[in-house]
Amino acid sequence: MAMTKDYILTIDAGTTSIRAVVFNHQGHIVTREVRKFEQLSPRPGWLEQDPIIIFDTVQSVLADALINGHIQPDQIDSIAIANQRETAVIWDKATGLPVHNAISWRSNQTQPLIDQLKQKVDRRIIQEKTGLRLDPIFSASKIRFILDHIPDGQQRAEKGDLLFGNINTWLAWQLSDGTIFKTDITNASRTLLFNINTQDWDPELLALFNIPREILPEVVTNDQILGETSTHQLYGRQVPIAAMIGSQQAALFGQTDFDMGSVKASFGSGGFIVMNTGTTPKFSVNNLLTSIGYTFTNKTNYVLEGGILTAGDAIDWFVDQLQFLDDFQTANTAAQQATSQNEIYFVPAFNGLAAPYWDNEVRGTFLGLTRGTTREDLVKAALQAIAYQTEDILSTLTQDTNLPITKLRVDGGASRDDYLLQFLADITQVPVQRSESRETTALGAAFIAGLNTGYFKDLAELRHLNAGGQTFEPAISSLTRSQLYSGWRQAVKAAQLF
C-alpha cells in the first residue's frame, strides 16, 4: 500500500475538553493537545456550552498539535471528527453564528417537555423507530427548546434560515466555511428523530416535536469522505474530512470490537458500555438503548448501549469542589489508602441515573458513613460506584441478547486507574482489558478516516494496531462479589426514596 501521507489528525470533541490527536501508520500517537472549555449552568440541572468557544478551542488545539509536533499541513492525510453525541447546536445559516448556547447531552432542562410527550405518545413506537426512549438526553427536545426560546425560532426554522447539528456537524460546517452540512449515521441515530430501520429522518417523529426537516443535515454513512476544510483553517491547505462518528461508536471501533457480542466500556466524565450486536438491531426490555454502531459498504452494525451519567465526573468533584484530591491521578492512591471494608456506597446521581434505572429525580447519596470515615474512603466508594454501575449494564446486556460476555475492553481517562479496573473485574467477574491506546476514541475515528482514504488497508490491519494492553482478572469469590453487589442495589433503592 502506497503511503503518500504521514499522519491522520483526529478532533475529539468531548463533554468538557477538546483533543487534537495525530496518529501515524502504526496507530501510535505522534502528538496530542488537550484543552478544557467552560461549562455553563444557568439553572440547577441545566448544562450548556458556548459553540463559538468550542470551535475556538478546536482551532487552538489544531494549531498547537501541528506546531508542537513539528508537522506540516501537507503531511496530514485527513481529518477525523469524534464527538460528544446528543448535544444540540442551532445556528443562523447566513451568519454562521449560534442563536443559543449548545445544550449539553447531560442537561435536564427539557424534562418538562418530555413529561408532556409521555402522556400522549406510545413509547413503544419511539423504541421501535429509534431504539431510544423519550428522555432529555437526546437532541430532539433540545432543538424544540431552542426554537421556543429565541425570537421567531419556528418561523426562521421553517424558512430554512436556521441549521441544526450535533457538535460534529457544527465543527465540519465551521472548518469548511459552510460547505459541509452533514452528519453521520451514528450521530443521527441519537437524535430521537432518525428511524434506524429506514435509516432516514422520520416524518412522524419530526411532527411529534414540530421540527422542520429544513434545519436537519444530510445523513451520510461512515464510509464516505465528507468534504474538505477551507484553506485558511490548515495554513493554506485543504484537508479532507474523511470521517465523523459519535464518541462511543468511535471507541468501539478503536477497540476493534468488530465481532457480534464484543463489549467495550469508556470512562470519561460519564461512562458508556456498548455491545456490538451485529447486523440486526436488538431492542432492549431492560431500558438499554439501540443505536447504529457504524455503516460500511451498505452493511450496518448495530449496538446495544447503557450510559452512566456520572463516572469520572465524580472524581473531578472531589478535585474541584471538595478539594480532597490534587488531580484525577491521585484517586488510585487514595483508594489504596482507604481503611473502609467496602461498607460505604456512593450513588453518584448528580443529574439522576441513566440505564437501567432512568430516574432523573434521584440525587447523589452516600450510605454507610461512620465517625471514622475518611476522605480516602469516600474516593474509594466513588471509584467502586463506576464498577457497580457498569455491572448494572453488563447484566442487562446479557439478559437482552443471551450473548455471554467473556471480556470487557475499557478505555477513557478513568481506565488508567488500576484500583478501578481491578474492582471492576471483581464485580463483573470477567477479565477487564485496558486499551493499549490512551486515546481510543480518537483512534477509532482515525481508523475510519484511514480506511476511507486508503491510509489503512482493512479491519485485519486495525486489529493488529490496537491488540489491547494490560488485563485484570477477577480476584474475589463469587459469594463476596454477590454480597457487595447486593449492597449496591440496596443503596440505589435507598437513594431513590429521597
- CATH, domain range 7-246: 3.30.420.40
- Alpha helix (H) ranges present in 85-166? 111-118, 123-130, 139-148, 153-158
Extents of the domains making up the chain:
7-246, 256-434+468-498
Whole-structure pTM value: 0.91
Query: Which grid cell is 319?
Result: 478535585
- Alpha helix (H) ranges present in 263-347? 312-320, 331-337
Domains 7-246 and 256-434+468-498 share a fold: yes
Residue 13 Cα distances to 191, 226, 248, 410, angstroms: 17, 18, 12, 19
So what's the pLDDT on residue 4? 57
So what's the pLDDT on residue 396? 94
Contact 168, 187 (CB under 8 A): yes
Tens digit of each residue's pLDDT, the chain (498 residues): 444 589 999 999 998 899 999 999 999 999 999 999 999 999 988 999 999 999 999 999 999 999 999 999 999 999 999 999 999 999 999 999 999 999 999 899 999 999 999 998 988 899 999 999 999 999 999 999 999 999 999 999 999 999 999 999 999 999 999 999 999 999 999 999 999 999 999 999 999 999 999 999 999 999 999 999 999 888 889 999 999 999 999 999 999 999 999 999 999 888 999 999 999 999 999 889 999 999 998 899 999 999 898 998 899 899 988 888 888 888 999 999 998 899 999 999 988 898 899 888 899 999 999 999 999 999 999 999 999 999 999 999 999 999 999 999 999 888 989 999 999 999 999 999 999 888 999 999 999 999 999 999 999 999 999 887 899 999 999 999 999 999 999 999 999 987
Cα 447 from Cα 441, distance rounded (Å): 10
Count Cβ neighbours within 10 Å for each residue of 193-217 and write b for 16 or more, e otherwise. Answer: bbbbeeeebbeebeebbebbeebbb
Give the CATH superfamily of 256-434+468-498.
ATPase, nucleotide binding domain (3.30.420.40)
